[in-house]
Structure 1
């Protein structure tokens, strides 16, 4: 039996054991790989992104109870609450990603119906591939299907971002939700986080994206993520006082920064420098992909990784060991971090013909350097969220 069939079978068995009978429908939403653009979405800049093959599935059916009953197979827990009575205070727990979506949709005036559901995800939780947005977006699609209404992808992404901001208490940008909603098979996206538009960018046909999970626990990711965002916002405020044309760090370029940087304390200078340079790297990376300039791809990814290490200070030794393993791997074109830093996943662009050799090398080298077993996933640009058809 193929992995998809095995997965479906397991979800069906759990659904029948909890609720009896069969689900009425299935939905899915993918995780995402941040190809280049660490935290540029928080500053309304550009990000190179793509949806990936790892995703969340939900089997569901309408319930007359007016309640949401959902079981997560990944955490082995269930939640049950009445629609309209979602918790009002934010909390960093998986259930708030579920109840937050129905709360936001209800506030928008959509007629929701009770559901019974089982969720299962192949997106590593806490790995920096956006398991949270994958859950949020799949839950949003479940409610649309059950309630008989339809949101366009942008409306879905914004509703899910609002739920994550307000109900899970994570002050994140739009990148993850947008990627899950707009992902396209076969192409990456250059996302403009100010206009909420994108252009399609093809990765050269003989390059594969290989996700290398450090399996290092991201214990600092939440608190330090919020701190970096606050530092960038404060840095923007100080720069804006010098030049009112600056709305976000997206509006800063090198000559302008060189002229104004004395207004910033050292830590804020480093944070702001990383973000505006990263934003420039994203645009340059798109051009490098289009012209298949592999030396430029390598240089820009190196700048992103070392900038995150030295200016943004979000790396840990496990990430450095993984970077060394990836950059020494057969067939590697370029490599960098992906996601929130402090561990989690990294990614490499690898010649397709050498992917297996590369994967073996990285697994061995990283294990020898850290004693940790890496998880390695070969992925490709994948379709965005929607119904699962059998």
Structure 2
């Protein structure tokens, strides 16, 4: 785990002055996989593992970014980097992209109008100033826990605050999504950035990725969520993620010709998909079928959670994994083994892969009384089956992005809850602007 006191002192040694501290969490998605870029429903929860940024402003436009994990220091010019065709992802591409999108050389980000695809509109941005950044994270990289969005959101929040700009969390999430599209080459949906901004302790988030309507779902104290890292890293940059998005968009084009009201798979039913099956390849049919059915599973899972019907919730998780394995084809042998092991244990309601797939993590929803035994057995059985020692831990639903006062980080570890405003002491609640108190949820509303 990152110790903010150590991070602050490391920053002081490296840069010769005291920093401000910021953090944004990773996430797991309980259900609703590969639906966000199809305007669908998702149910993520923020992790209690985060990316931390110690930061201080500079007098120029230079950003000096140092990564503890990679042991690298990179220098970029804030806001002057135009997108180029990504040749491969590097951690600093996320920092470069966020600074450019938030700066005056990038156009402000407009809500999506088609299938979760970011569409910039003309307008005037405001300058991002230079900064020294020291980045550290305890979100596993390449494990499907959204380490990239945690990095984007933490850095974006820090850069906005250092530039004395008001922080609207919806627009921050959109800017970070656009940075990932244009600078890292992954055409992600908005879920990861939204949960990094809007996580709430003890809750999952039911998010409509078209309207950005949000409902926080309390997680019962009798349940635990196990994160089970297969130790096989996924590689979204390989193009498989983008290929599946292209399949979905191809399916929408066919559906829209027959049913003009369909703008995204969110709008389609399985009956409508069956009606055009002869016009689709088998692969596109199965990809679209997963998304349409998965949207229905998310809504059913929210009802089951509200009714404390954990058996139904678990069954929906199991159905989700089978669909991701067989129809969307984003699982792998290690994920399938992990899920099968977890699902066969007493006290486990359901298990599934989480994240983009092709490796990374599975999750299991477990009765609290069985979680210790389940953790041990998953570790032992998976290692025996795969030869890999997994990282298995009980995760708690954490808070979204926040700023920390240095004195509190050093002595008490208390966060400015989405900023008790860093400069004016204004109490903020889940996304009010850090300096001006404006509501951070423009573009979406709470359910």
The bucket for the TM-score relative to the shorter chain is over 0.9
Instruction: Pick the structure with more helix per residue.
Output: 1
2:248 paired residue among 232, 238, 253: 232
Query: More displaced, 154-163 or 80-89?
Result: 80-89
Structure 1 match to 2:181 = 165
Whole-Å separation in 1 of the counterparts to 2:252 and 2:47: 33
Q: What is the SS of the residue equivalent to 1:312?
A: coil
The answer as to 2:275 corresponding to 1:278 is no
The answer as to 2:225 corresponding to 1:209 is yes
- CA deviation vs aligned residue, 1:351-388 (integer Å, no higher than 9, x gap): 11221111101000000000001111211221110102
- 1:285-324 to 2 correspondence within 5 Å? 285-324=301-340
Whole-Å separation in 2 of the counterparts to 1:113 and 1:361: 51
Give the Å deviation of 1:87.
Answer: 4.7
Give the Å deviation of 1:219.
Answer: 4.0
Figure out how many residues of one structure are paired with residues of the other and give that number.
385
Query: More displaced, 126-135 or 221-230?
Result: 221-230
Query: More displaced, 117-126 or 239-248?
Result: 239-248
Please, what TM-score do these two structures have when normalized by structure 2? Answer: 0.83
Please, what TM-score do these two structures have when normalized by structure 1? Answer: 0.95
- CA deviation vs aligned residue, 1:33-88 (integer Å, no higher than 9, x gap): 11101110010000011111110111111111321011011111111122233253
- CA deviation vs aligned residue, 1:239-267 (integer Å, no higher than 9, x gap): 11121111111111132223232221111
1:101 paired residue among 98, 101, 116: 98
- 1:1-390 to 2 correspondence within 5 Å? 7-23=3-19, 25-91=20-86, 92-106=89-103, 107=106, 108=108, 109-219=125-235, 222-389=238-405, 390=408
Q: 1:222 to 1:35 in 2, by over 3 A?
A: farther
Unpaired runs of 5+ residues, structure 1, are none
Give the Å deviation of 1:204.
Answer: 2.1
Whole-Å separation in 2 of the counterparts to 1:314 and 1:111: 40
Q: 1:113 to 1:43 in 2, by over 3 A?
A: same
Conserved? CA contact 1:239–1:263, under 8 Å: no
Give the Å deviation of 1:221.
Answer: 6.3
Whole-Å separation in 1 of the counterparts to 2:53 and 2:233: 27
Give the Å deviation of 1:17.
Answer: 3.2
Conserved? CA contact 1:67–1:80, under 8 Å: yes
Query: More displaced, 238-247 or 130-139?
Result: 238-247
Whole-Å separation in 2 of the counterparts to 1:367 and 1:220: 25
Whole-Å separation in 1 of the counterparts to 2:315 and 2:100: 45
Q: What is the SS of the residue equivalent to 2:99?
A: helix
Conserved? CA contact 2:232–2:334, under 8 Å: yes
Give the Å deviation of 1:13.
Answer: 4.1
Q: What is the SS of the residue equivalent to 1:29?
A: strand
Whole-Å separation in 1 of the counterparts to 2:201 and 2:220: 14
Conserved? CA contact 1:221–1:342, under 8 Å: no
Query: RMSD value over aligned CA atoms?
Result: 1.5
Query: More displaced, 219-228 or 322-331?
Result: 219-228
Conserved? CA contact 1:314–1:342, under 8 Å: yes
Whole-Å separation in 1 of the counterparts to 2:61 and 2:55: 14
Q: 1:8 to 1:78 in 2, by over 3 A?
A: same
Conserved? CA contact 2:79–2:102, under 8 Å: no
Runs of 4+ in 1 over 6 A off after TM superposition: none
Conserved? CA contact 1:232–1:268, under 8 Å: yes
Unpaired runs of 5+ residues, structure 2, are 109-124, 409-447
